[in-house]
Amino acid sequence: MQVPNFVGPNGFIWFIGVVENNNDPLQIGRIKVRCYGYHTDDTNDLPTDDLPWAIHIKPTTGGSDFSPTGIEVGATVFGFFADGTVAQYPIVMGVLDGVNAREGADRNANSTQVLTDQAGGQSIVPGVDDITATDGQLQTAWALFADDSQYDISLLPLGNVSATVANYVISNVAEVRLDCVVFASPRNVSSGDVIIGSGSTATDQIIAYRNALPSTSYGVLDSGFKYQYDRYNDKYRWIPLNGDTAGLCARTDYTNDPWFSPGGLNRGQIKNVVKLAHNPNRTDRDALYKAGVNPVVTFPGEGTVLFGDKTLLAKPSAFDRINVRRLFIVMEKAIATAAKFQLFEFNDSFTRAQFKNLVEPFLRDVQGRRGIYDFKVVCDTTNNTGEVIDRNEFVGDIYIKPARSINFIQLNFVAVRTGVEFSEVVGQF
């Protein structure tokens, strides 16, 4: 038997198309497919009724039980033509998951679509999402995390957002929950552009962004953006550093403890940096750190480092350091969980002693792991007076001396005469 066109001598002819009819009059599961590049989109020139019926290779998925094949109208399918370039005997091999490529192209010219090159070859290429979320939409999204009963989180990197959004998340999420820290990166407050450059001009723009944020220990601000290679799209992008800063905190949790500082040459190394939008010099670093901005610096031979560990708290306090704020978050969450077991118990000496026996071993463990210098737990009749007991309340006072990170190093070198004993001069300079 000789057939003029069949798979093999004329090549294996693939197609991708959209199902337009699955109501097979023979009820054997055939479908009609409009194939990209072979059939025009104009249904007036080529009505659905004129498309050839396609059979399929079982099993297939991707639809309801409306037709024997389970393939719905509008599904994107692929297969080959059994009659080669004649293209009148299509065989469907499977269903492509996702949105109908033709409808997607109609809805958004930048969405996934099929392109045909000059040689007639076809490929499905991704488009670009040109939808930019407004500040209001971002605030609505971040507001979901305000419910601490539903979401257990400790780090909130914001990405590339305006000072308005950063303000909202700090005030309406972090300071409501009191158990997480917000990380932000500055951008030009007027244009929203990445702050690129060196010297006082860039430094002043960063400080202007910082001044638009509140004074709080639940926020952390770095010094800008890094230039990084996007291997998924084969291009370089400016990426805000707040994700890296939050990542350093997460890595510090894993390698040490939350109360260790994430900054410095030991734990502050930032990866995947081609260059920084603003690499501050010593003068710039001093101005930024005084304003509450943690400089990210590239040192020759040492890499790119988070060179600070301040929070956005403006007034002098133990909580103006990241490690102290995160120390108290860990302790407050752990001790609050332990305190829940005192609910609906009697406020007597036994319950108070039980509470102290829960808290003190935990604090001793934190002390042994260098988180605090000393502590004291008071839970007795001095703070659980008769009035407190009559109000059905329970009071526990916990005093903490947090460990402090070193931010400044002073080295004194003193030259003395040969005949002088060191004991005579130590402490004199």
Span 344-401, pLDDT tens digits: 999 999 999 999 999 999 999 999 999 999 999 999 999 999 999 999 999 999 999 9
Span 46-83, pLDDT tens digits: 898 889 888 776 554 544 444 455 677 777 777 777 77
Tell whether pTM > 0.85.
Answer: no
Kindly report the length of the chain: 429
Q: Which two tokens stand for residue 296?
A: 């990210």
Q: Which residue has the higher pLDDT, 114 or 154?
A: 154
Q: Which residue has the higher pLDDT, 225 or 108?
A: 225
User: What is the pLDDT at residue 9?
Assistant: 56
Q: How confident is the model at residue 229 (pLDDT cuts 50, 70, 90)?
A: very high
Strand partners, 378: 397
- Cβ neighbors of 230 (< 8 A, separation 6 or more) are 236, 237
pLDDT at 122 over 60: no
Q: Of 237, 211, 216, whose CA–CA distance to 226 is shortest?
A: 237
pLDDT at 86 over 80: no
Please state which CATH number belongs to domain 14-125: 2.40.50.260
Q: Between 3.20.20.70, 3.40.50.11780, 3.30.450.20, 3.40.228.10, what CATH number should domain 135-322 receive?
A: 3.40.50.11780
pLDDT at 325 over 80: yes
Helical pair 282-290 and 200-211, crossing angle rounded to 10 deg:
10
Strand partners, 222: 294
Q: Of 127, 132, 126, whose CA–CA distance to 110 is shortest?
A: 127
User: What residue ranges do the domains of the chain occupy?
Assistant: 14-125, 135-322, 343-429
User: What is the pLDDT at residue 91?
Assistant: 78
Span 234-275, pLDDT tens digits: 899 999 999 999 999 999 999 999 999 999 999 999 999 999
Tell me how many degrees the CA angle 64-66-68 measures, rounded to the nearest 5: 95
Q: Of 202, 150, 147, whose CA–CA distance to 176 is shortest?
A: 147
| Helix (H/G/I), strand (E/B), else coil: 269 | strand
- Are residues 199 and 282 in contact, defined by beta-carbon separation less than 8 angstroms? no
Tell me how many degrees the CA angle 284-287-290 measures, rounded to the nearest 5: 145
pLDDT at 28 over 70: yes
User: What is the pLDDT at residue 102?
Assistant: 46
Please state, in angstroms and rounded to a whole number, the distance separating the CA atoms of residues 45 and 88. Answer: 17
Strand partners, 237: 228
- Cβ neighbors of 295 (< 8 A, separation 6 or more) are 222, 223, 280, 284, 285, 288, 289, 307, 308
Span 163-197, pLDDT tens digits: 999 999 999 999 999 999 999 999 999 999 999 99
